[in-house]
Structure 1
């Protein structure tokens, strides 16, 4: 039977001399792997003291990296000692109701701005031709 640890016990192992991680409800002593970790030891040390499952999964570890975890396995977490995960619920947003006058102004500007640019370009061309004659 696997040894059971509380989150408080796992959290005590939070240095580069003694580093334990909690991933998928299992506890791993990764101290010996710190120097070999491709992302550096700091990445692992900062993942201590919490459930590092999301951090581990977000990186996209290979199947061989996941299999490698087994050699560092020391026990399971007592789930009653970990905070329950909550899912993010975005706040309700009020429906944006653009008033019709601003919509009209935007359409008017979309029509007039190109005409003004064209008028300026023609005016400059006309001015430069008439001043050189």
Structure 2
């Protein structure tokens, strides 16, 4: 079985491929032609069109796509970015292929600061005005 050669693209050549007739996205240095998926996208075609021709890695991860969505996108992959155009620091929004991660349960720091500020404001009010 022959290894299939990966088609390489530059960001420059992709930036104008942003129409309903040709909608290209870059996600984690891989290039996807989502033109045929525009009407099927659960979030609406506007979401994809807004990012067409650009790097959509961060918005893609912000939405927390399911493992099914990640699997589906494989069929739209048409290539990858050339080495010089690849994002090196993608750890900030690296793909998390396992969506079965436990949800964070009640992080105490998310409520401790507002609680302390409320107590301080109450004490200050009582000292100054009562």
TM-score normalised by length of structure 2: 0.64
The change in CA–CA distance for 1:85 and 1:62 in structure 2 (over 3 A counts) is same
The offset of 1:29, in angstroms, is 0.3
Q: For 1:75, what is the secondary structure of its paired residue?
A: strand
Unpaired runs of 5+ residues, structure 2, are: 92-122
Asked if the contact 1:25–1:77 (Cα under 8 Å) also holds between the matched residues in 2, the reply is yes
Aligned residues of 1:29 and 1:73 also touching (Cα < 8 A)? yes
In 2 relative to 1, CA 112–79 (structure 1 residues): closer, same or farther, beyond 3 Å?
same
Unaligned regions of 5+ residues in structure 1, if any?
Answer: 88-105, 115-133
Cα RMSD between the aligned structures?
Answer: 2.5
| Cα distance in 1 for residues equivalent to 2:65 and 2:87 | 25
Higher helix proportion: 1
The match for 1:39 is: 43
Which of 52, 55, 75 is residue 51 of structure 1 equivalent to? 55
Contact 1:30 1:72 (C-alpha < 8 Å) held by counterparts:
yes
Shift of 1:17: 1.8
Match for residue 20 of structure 1 among 24, 31, 42: 24
Q: Does 2:73 align with 1:69?
A: yes
3-state DSSP class of the match of 1:14?
Answer: coil
Cα gap change, 1:11 to 1:60, in 2 (>3 Å): same
**How big is each residue's C-alpha offset from its partner over 1:80-99, in whole Å with a ceiling of 9 and x where there is no partner?**
13576599xxxxxxxxxxxx
TM-score normalised to structure 1 length: 0.63
